[in-house]
Chains A and B, each alone.
Chain A
Amino acid sequence: MALTLDQIRADVADVLGEDPADIPDDENLVDYGLDSVRIMTLVERWRRDHGTEVTFVDLAEQPAIEQWVPLLGART
């Protein structure tokens, strides 16, 4: 099942313990509490549920949802 922008936002909000509505697409997620453990959680969750192959470094390099969409979308 392919990932959608909404699903990405929902999952990010979940690991950050925030409401999805409070997570903008274009902001640096580090400022919202994204850390390596949470990124690892997302990497594993998306690999398991959506078959993505992004690595930790891929996500950590540009920690914003709009940057992740092509990374994740291109491989679904």
Chain B
Amino acid sequence: MWFAQALDAGSPALNTAECIEIHGDVDPVLFADALHRTVGEADALRVRITDTADGPRQLPLAVEPPGHGFPLYAADLRDQGDPDATARAWMRADAAEPFDLATGPLFAHGLFRVGDHRWLWYQRVHHAVLDGYGYSLVARRVAEVYSALAAGTDPGPSPFGRLAALVEEDAAYRTSPARDRDRAHWLAGFADRPEAPTLAGRTALPSRAAVRSTAHLAPERTDRLRRLAGSVRATWTDVLFAAQALYLARATRSEEVVLGLPMMGRMGSVALRVPGMVMNVLPLRLTVTADTTFAELTRQVVLGIRAARRHQRYRYEDIRRDLGLLGEGRALVGPLVNVMPFDYGLTFAGARSDAHNIVSGPVDDLTVNIYDRAHGSGLRVDYDGNPALYGQHELTAHQDRFLDLLARIADRDPHLPLGGLALATDAECERVLTEFNDTAVALPPTTLIGPIEARAARTPGATALVSGTEELSYAELNARANRLARHLITLGVRPGALAAVALPRSTDLVVALLAVLKAGGAYLPLDTAHPAARLTAVLDGARPVCVLTDLAGRAALPAPSARGVTAPAVVALDDPALREELAGLLPTDPGRALTPQHPAYVLHTSGSTGTPKGVVVPHSAIDNRLRWMQDRYRLAPGDRVLQKTPTGFDVSVWEFFWPLREGATLVVAGPDDHRDPARLARTVREQGVTAVHFVPSMLQLFLAEPGAAECTGLRHVFSSGEVLPRDTADAFHRLLPGTALHNLYGPTEAAVDVTHHTCEPGETGPVPIGRPVWNTRLYVLDTAGRLCPPGVPGELHLAGAQLATGYLGRPDLTAERFTDDPYGPPGTRMYRTGDLARWREDGSVEYLGRTDRQVKVRGQRVELDGIEAVLASHEHVAAACALVREDRPGDPRLVVYVTPASADAAAEAGEPDPAALRAHVAARLPEAMVPTAVVVLDAFPTGPNGKLHRAALPVPGTAATTAGREPRDAREAALTRLFAEALGLPHVGVDDSFFELGGNSLLAARLVARVREDLGTDLAMGTLFQAATPAAVAERMRAHGTADEAALGTVLPLRPAGTGTPLFALHPAAGLGWCYTALLTHLDPDQPLYGLQARGLRPGDDRPRPYASLDEMAAAYAERVRGVQPHGPYRLLGWSAGGVLAHGVAVLLQEAGEKVELLAMMDAYPADQWRERLGTVEADALAALLETAGCATGDTPLTREAVTTRLGAADSAFGTLPAATLDTVVDTAVRTTALTRGHRHRVFDGDVLFFTAAAPRAETWLTRDAWRPYVTGNLINRDIDCAHADMTRPGPAAEVARAVTAHLGEKS
């Protein structure tokens, strides 16, 4: 208690306070006397506690009599409007006053007259000196003394024992063998350091005040509890513990819980007569399963408490320390259940009284205080919660629900299994079952394909599909698909039959899918990039009648396995013979006997044994999904939907078919574009896409893409596949305020998505997965299969129209996951998702994680069990443990740990080789399931209970990189540096593969961004997948001369996102704005930043007519600024010649009537200073250019040719520029320098923020004061400790950025 107070000296959390209501007359003078006398008898109240060099010491304290400093406040409140309320307010305020332990006194009293015959006596005591039992001793003695004084008799000798006796008893215990036995008892019982589940699911330090919810249990209900207790030979308190354990276990999905058991600690001790702080808290560990009965659970409580009682003197603090929980900040117990049965039927000179607790000390998590004080008036139940963990509403909801559960337990046969009891109240059940699932909508019985054919007939001329430069009308697409469908029918494709489709994203792919559906069949996507073993397993299991592919795909198909399976017919769509044959077939819709119950498609997901399982989805399910989607988001003929998701993932289903049902246009992305945010942004812009889907991790990358902000044509962005972080949603709204963002959720087993939530700006907290779609019911069920009330996590189950038929050829698996729906109409089924979720009060659902070990890596379902099974099947492996590590935040990596099969095997075959094991997995599982690293261990680390101690598994060592050759040129050197940076490695060789070193597509996207930033080169993501080493990437860059449009455009969007006024940074002489990237990290994250660059930098650009004057140049730049931000206030910045330009642009904007709120110049000097210089402009410009590029100027002749060559070899951005661009750069440098020197400055009205490169320089005559004639305001200078050429290096740039941010902050 002392320590807890010392942690937060000003906290009132250690206060305890109660109020005794006296029904009768009180003489306040006698009462004060009684208080003073009682304090005189109670040693514990006459102490203070100070901190000394030897630790805290308790010292005696003299207490003054009433009227002379005795802490008593008395008031007659009868003239107050509401005397009770006034008194309660005073008490609440007093209870929030901290005590000063060092000075004391550590108690305070209040006495209030609130009626002619009614008084309130209030007392507050620090918990370090008194516990609840101590209160009862003090209160009884006060009543006794007062009654005696009122009767004029002697109160008699003090009934209290001495505090010294208590201390002695404790000291004796501390050195006794009993203490060693107690210690051994607790250590043995908790050696495995069990988790202590809590309703909040997390821990927090105690707050200064608890939040409280109070309820009363009527005597009639209390009697029922007592009867129940009697029937199972226990007390009502045992029943309360058992009920609380049941509630906690169900609400936290835990079979084992640890309740906190406060112990009076006085039985058989002198402490029974000593007011003081003796109570202790002990852990009560209970197992609660669905098949145990309440009687059995209560018996467990009785025995558990009995065992605890024998060892109750060992302190709670000591158990925590002994178990090492202190250091980890881990809790020993969950909620405390504190029963206070002390008899409080006190009388004060004949007046009866009731006691009311006001505050009862610090609350770590949750304390349930139960008072049984006044005879026959039932129980008072206080839920005290830590406000850092529980809100008032939440606390009351738990309390109401617990009391409801208690009532149902009391009315129930205690010998029935607990599984029959739901946590939710009847009203809550009704709410989550009916109100939250009110989704029934009558729909016509149609199929996936029917509405597409109807649409083609209605709008034959509309554009159905765009793929690259190819466009097809609805009529054309329909005719192509019909011809192919007629061919497929001849091969046996019909309702109920499967046709595999193995094609890259293309027009042919769309035609093939439509054709299969038109023939009545179900399509089964096949990725020929998958390992042959997996393809064989899928083909053998599904037995499609044919495979639609192309000539390249045909070659990649595995040979039919030897198990007598008939090889399916192979249809290569680019086979000229086939094309000829199709031309002869009818282009009209074929007939077929298709019903909504027939399968529409079969998608394979990873299984827990490593074998893929095919999910069969019927037409009715996907038709329901698409009809709901159309009703909700209203696609119109002008809309364009981007198809970018691979066919193996269910999102692709709506991408393909939704637009074609609604007369909109399907835009087919390039084959590899789905991993390349830059290309996607470009496609969205160029193709006018209005609806697109991203998995959240890809959405993050897309938003970081400079081009994303320009995708303002988007109406709807859909996100699903993994948790959508709130930050991502916020970033989305900032960047694309006019576009709706929808978070969808659903497993492949329920026709793509079953819940939806549209994110709104300003929402906080986790993004929910939302409400059910049409004709869909969601159930959140606890471990006993009962409905969870709102707020309580459970496993999400799905029912309704969208459920899949089941797993192809796997009735066992189907029966396991699709079970009878106990809450739906007879004969209906529900699907167990394995996802953990909870209802929110508003009827939407929050996703919380998985109930099993399935994880998602970049939106793809990965079964860790499956990976382990495959590795354990390797002859050199004994056991395997797969997990996802996030050693670098935002970079989840799949890692597998293995132990060798046996010492003998290892001796014979050598240690298992990680690379070989990885290959073993890669040959059997799809790419997403192949671990980034395989780590061989002698043995797995285990915890005290013998279980695998996952946290102790080592971080996989970063693979040794190849020694290899030295980088050949500057570009390779720069790339090895960027590779190493992206991978978090100290060094990467030129021939090291990005992916072999632990790279993944997310890191790849980061690398691409860094390459763009540093080298100004737009490296396509796809390039990296084909050329994964620095050398190969450098080679590609050389071959393609890859300067990027954005990086060399006239407006370089360095940070287009952000809500602030943009900052425009004008290029220095060379014309490139890349140098300003270094400002980004230290500018306010909401500060957009644009670089303005010279024209003609792109290799293909025409050479523009040179500007005749700096004024003309500045006017053109001002227009560009206005193109981004039409009106002021403007923020401008420029380095070197860019500073002069910024001044010119600022003057022009002011002359046009605009406000300029920031003009920042980085070491820029006016023309006046240069005009009289000797030497040629060209030589100066070239020398400056070399210096800026970090090249020594000494040995390079200052000719354009020599400088261009030198720059081309530089280890900087210049070294990566295409030759044509480099020419423009040199040219621009010379011209800009010339224009700057010939310029006549006009006057800027306002302050200038100036940055001086403070290192000594040759041009000692340069002075910022030369600007004075051209600036009306102050020249605010900041010295930056660097040379002129180094001002945009990271260190100096950070100082500049911080000063700019501070300056703007001061101004606002």
Contact = CB atoms under 8 A, between A and B. Distances in A.
A57 B235 contact: no
A24 to B, nearest CB: 15
Nearest to B233: A17
Given A40-B341, A56-B343, A30 B268 contact: yes
Main secondary structure of the interface of A (DSSP, over half): helix
B47 interface: no
Interface string B264-283: 10111100110000000000
Contacts of A15: 235
Interface stretch (A4-12, A59-67, A68-76): A59-67
Interface in B339-363: 339, 341-343
B310 interface: yes
B306 interface: yes
Interface in A4-60: 15, 17, 28, 30-38, 40-41, 56-57, 60
Contacts of B269: 61
B234 interface: yes
A73 B1307 CA distance: 89
Contacts of A56: 343
B554 interface: no
B237 interface: yes
A57 B273 contact: yes
Contacts of A63: 267-268
Contacts of A38: 235
Contact of B306 (A33, A36, A57): A33
B309 interface: yes
Interface in B319-373: 339, 341-343
B291 to A, nearest CB: 23
A57 B341 CA distance: 13
Nearest to A38: B235
Contacts of A33: 302, 305-306, 309
Contacts of B235: 15, 35, 37-38, 41
A32 B267 CA distance: 12
Contacts of A62: 268
Contacts of B268: 28, 30, 60-63
Contact of B272 (A17, A31, A40, A61): A61
B341 A30 contact: no
A60 B235 CA distance: 17
Contacts of B236: 37
Contacts of A34: 267, 309
Given A30-B310, A57-B273, A62-B268, A40 B305 contact: no
Residue among A17, A40, A63 with max Cβ neighbours from chain B (10 Å): A17
Contacts of B237: 35, 37
Nearest to B137: A57
Contacts of A31: 306, 309-310
A61 B269 CA distance: 6
Contacts of B234: 17
Contacts of B302: 17, 33
A37 B341 CA distance: 6
Interface string B60-85: 00000000000000000000000000
A62 B236 CA distance: 24
Interface residues of A, number: 20
A33 B272 CA distance: 18
Contact of B267 (A17, A40, A41, A60): A60
A62 to B, nearest CB: 7
A33 B301 CA distance: 11
A15 to B, nearest CB: 7
Contact of A37 (B306, B310, B339): B339
Given A28-B268, A60-B266, A36 B273 contact: no
Contacts of B273: 57, 61
Interface in B443-474: none
A20 to B, nearest CB: 13
A30 B310 CA distance: 7
Residue among B236, B272, B305 with max Cβ neighbours from chain A (10 Å): B272
B301 to A, nearest CB: 11
Interface string B1026-1050: 0000000000000000000000000
Nearest to B235: A37
Given A15-B235, A35-B267, A41-B235, A60 B272 contact: yes
Contacts of B339: 37
Nearest to A31: B310
Residue among A36, A38, A63 with max Cβ neighbours from chain B (10 Å): A36
Nearest to B234: A17
Contacts of B267: 30, 34-36, 60, 63
B228 to A, nearest CB: 13
Contacts of B266: 60
A31 B339 CA distance: 19
B290 to A, nearest CB: 25
Contacts of B305: 33, 35
B113 to A, nearest CB: 32
Interface in B351-404: none
A62 B704 CA distance: 75
Contacts of A28: 268
Contacts of B233: 17
Contacts of A36: 264, 267, 341-342
A33 B266 CA distance: 14
Contacts of B306: 31-33
Contacts of A35: 235, 237, 267, 305, 309
A30 B309 contact: yes
Nearest to B306: A33
A35 B269 CA distance: 13
A60 B271 CA distance: 10
A15 B343 CA distance: 19
A6 B709 CA distance: 89
A63 B267 CA distance: 7
B344 to A, nearest CB: 12
A19 B446 CA distance: 72
A38 B339 CA distance: 12
B1093 to A, nearest CB: 82
A30 B269 CA distance: 11
Contacts of B264: 36
A49 B349 CA distance: 28
A63 B309 CA distance: 13
Residue among A35, A40, A61, A63 with max Cβ neighbours from chain B (10 Å): A35
A55 to B, nearest CB: 9
Contacts of A30: 267-268, 309-310
Nearest to A17: B233
B14 to A, nearest CB: 24
A56 B159 CA distance: 14
A56 B140 CA distance: 13
A68 to B, nearest CB: 12
B441 to A, nearest CB: 57
A57 B310 contact: no
A57 B140 CA distance: 13
Residue among B264, B266, B267, B341 with max Cβ neighbours from chain A (10 Å): B267
Interface string B768-782: 000000000000000
17 contacts: A15-B235, A17-B302, A31-B310, A33-B306, A33-B309, A34-B267, A34-B309, A35-B305, A35-B309, A36-B342, A37-B339, A37-B341, A57-B273, A60-B267, A61-B268, A61-B273, A63-B268
Interface of B: 233-237, 264, 266-269, 272-273, 302, 305-306, 309-310, 339, 341-343
Which 7 A-B residue pairings sit nearest by Cβ, starting from the closest? Answer: A17-B233, A33-B306, A30-B267, A57-B272, A37-B235, A37-B341, A37-B237
Given A35-B305, A37-B236, A60-B268, 6 more contacts: A28-B268, A31-B310, A35-B237, A35-B309, A40-B343, A57-B272
